[in-house]
C-alpha cells in the first residue's frame, strides 16, 4: 500500500501489526528474547515512513520511540536492532527540525554499532554516519559533517563491495560542505 501512495491504508495495517507485536508478542516473550525482532525492524522501517508521508511527524516519532523503548526494555541495548531504532529516531527528529535531538540519537546509534562485532554493523554504521553528516551540516557544523562523511567513505572502502547509494550520499554531503 505504501508503494502506491495509499498511506492511510498502510498506516491502518501497520497499526494492527504494531498492536500485535507490542502487546501480544511482547507480553509473551521474555526479556532478551528477540523472536519479534524482525517484525519490530520492519515496523520501524515502514510505519514511521507512512506517517511522515501522510504529514504526521508527531505520530511517526511516537511510534519510533515506542519501538525503541520496547527494544530497550527487552534487553536489546547492545544489539544492532537498537542502533537501527536510534537511527530511525534521529532521522525523524531531523525531519521534525529537532536537530539537537537528531544529532544525539544518530551519535548514539553510530557509537553502538562501532562497538558491535561483524561486518553488518560496519555496513549499517556507514549509513548512520552519512545521516549524522546531514544533521551536522543542517546545524552549520561543517567540520563534523565532513568528518562523518569521510569516516563513512573509509568504512565503505573496507567492504567487499561498496554500496553506490552510501557513496553517493557521502560525496554529495562533502560537496555541499
- Which pTM was predicted? 0.73
Cα dist from 78 to 47, 49, 147, 156, whole Å: 24, 25, 25, 23
pLDDT of amino acid 120:
65
pLDDT of residue 55: 87
pLDDT at position 9 is 72
- Give the confidence band of 1 by pLDDT, cuts at 50, 70, 90: very low
d(CA 46, CA 175): 30
Tell me the three cell numbers of residue 35.
Answer: 523472536
pLDDT in tens, 93-144: 999 999 999 999 999 998 888 888 775 677 788 888 999 999 999 999 999 9
Nine-digit cell string for 90: 534521529
What integer pLDDT is reported at residue 177 of this predicted model? 80
Amino acid at each position: 500500500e505504501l508503494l502506491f501512495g495509499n498511506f492511510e491504508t498502510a498506516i491502518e495495517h501497520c497499526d494492527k501489526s504494531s498492536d500485535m507485536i507490542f502487546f501480544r508478542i511482547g507480553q509473551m516473550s521474555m526479556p532478551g528474547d528477540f523472536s519479534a525482532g524482525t517484525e519490530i525492524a520492519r515496523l520501524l522501517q515502514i510505519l514511521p515512513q507512512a506517517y511522515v508521508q501522510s504529514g504526521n511527524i508527531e505520530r511517526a516519532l511516537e511510534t519510533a520511540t515506542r519501538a525503541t523503548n520496547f527494544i530497550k526494555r527487552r534487553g536489546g541495548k547492545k544489539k544492532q536492532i537498537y542502533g537501527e531504532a536510534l537511527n530511525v529516531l534521529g532521522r525523524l527528529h531531523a525531519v521534525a527540525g529537532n536537530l539537537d535531538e537528531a544529532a544525539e540519537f544518530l551519535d548514539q546509534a553510530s557509537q553502538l554499532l562501532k562497538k558491535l562485532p561483524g561486518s553488518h554493523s560496519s555496513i549499517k554504521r556507514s549509513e548512520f554516519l552519512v545521516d549524522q553528516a546531514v544533521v551536522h551540516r543542517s546545524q552549520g557544523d561543517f567540520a563534523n559533517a565532513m568528518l562523518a562523511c569521510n569516516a563513512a567513505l573509509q568504512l565503505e572502502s573496507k567492504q567487499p563491495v561498496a554500496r553506490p547509494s552510501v557513496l553517493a550520499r557521502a560525496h554529495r554531503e562533502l560537496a555541499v560542505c
